[in-house]
Amino acid sequence: MTAVLERERVLHVHGVSRRYGGRRGLTVALTDIDLDVRQGEFVCVVGPSGSGKSTLLDLLAGHQAPDDGHVWAHGERVTGPDPRRMVVFQEHALFPWLTARQNVEFGLREAGMGRRERRAVAEEWLGRVRLAGFEDAHVHELSGGMRQRVSIARALALEPDVLLMDEPFAALDAQTRDVLHAELQALWQSTATTVVFITHNVREAVLLGDRVVLLSPHPGRVRRTVDVTLPRPRHMEDDGLVQFAAGLLHELTDTETGDGRAVG
C-alpha cells in the first residue's frame, strides 16, 4: 500500500452529495462521499441496490454534477465527460450498424486520428482482447462476452488515464465472467490504467481490487475502505478470497434498518 500512496492522485471526491427530485419527493442517492484514487490503482466500489454506486460513477465520468461537494480528476474540477476518463457500461453500448473494428475506430476518428492509423490501432486492441479474426463481425454476430471485449477495446484504444466500469460483467454467465476477470486483470497490469469498477458482487470486488470501497444503502455513504492484501493472481474459489469476501459481505448486511438483503 505504501507504493500506492506515493503515486499521483488522479481522482478526488470530497463532501459529495447527490439528490434527485420526483413524484415521491426528494431521493438522496449519495451523501458526504470522500474518495481518493491514485494512479494505477484498481478500486472496486461495492454495495447493495440503492447505494448510489452508478451515480458515483456518473459523477466521476462527468455525466452528472454533484449537488454538494466537488469531484476532481487529473488536478481539474470535473465539469463534463473527458476522453481521459472512459466508461464501460453493463450494456455494451456498441453501434449495431458498425463492425467490431468500426466500433473501436469510432472514438479514434472523433479524436482526429487518420484512417490508416486508427485501423491499425483498432486491430491491435481487438487482438489484445482476443478478438483477432472478428474485426468485421457486427454486434448481432458476437456473444455477450465478445461484445464487452469490444467495449473494453474501444475504451482502452484511446489510452485513457482512468477506466470507469459500471458492472460490466453482471449480465454474463459465470464461465464467461471468469475468463473476462482474468483478461481484465492482465490488461490492467500491462497498461497501468487506473480502474474504478462498480459491482454488487463482493467476491468479484475482492478478486479484482487493490481496494474495496463499501457503500451503505439509502443513502449511499462510504462505510469503509478496505485494502485487499491477498496476493495476485487471484481466483474466485481461493479459500483466502472466499473468507475475505465473507467478512465484507457481513458488513454490507444492513442490520441497523432490518434490511437483511445480502450482496453478491
Percent of the chain with pLDDT over 90: 83
Q: How many residues does the chain have?
A: 264
| Domain made up of 1-84+161-264: CATH architecture | 3-Layer(aba) Sandwich (3.40)
Q: How confident is the model at residue 150 (pLDDT cuts 50, 70, 90)?
A: very high
pLDDT digits (tens, 9 = 90+) for 221-252: 999 999 999 999 999 999 999 999 999 998 88
CA distance 196 to 219: 20
Instruction: Check residue 49 and give its pLDDT.
Output: 86
CA distance 230 to 228: 6
pLDDT digits (tens, 9 = 90+) for 59-72: 999 999 999 999 99
Cβ(52)–Cβ(215) below 8 Å: yes
Three-class HEC string of 108-154: HHHCCCCHHHHHHHHHHHHHHCCCCCCCCCEHHHCCHHHHHHHHHHH
CATH code 3.40.50.300 region(s) in the chain: 1-84+161-264
Instruction: Check residue 64 and give its pLDDT.
Output: 96
Mean pLDDT of 31-41: 97
CA distance 261 to 75: 38
How much is the mean pLDDT over the chain?
91
**What's the grid cell of residue 73?**
480528476
Helices (H) and strands (E) in the chain, counts: 8, 10
Mean pLDDT of 113-142: 96
Instruction: Check residue 6 and give its pLDDT.
Output: 57
Region of residue 184 (phi > 0: left; psi between -120 and 50: alpha; otherwise: beta): alpha
Instruction: Check residue 257 and give its pLDDT.
Output: 44
Percent of the chain with pLDDT over 70: 94
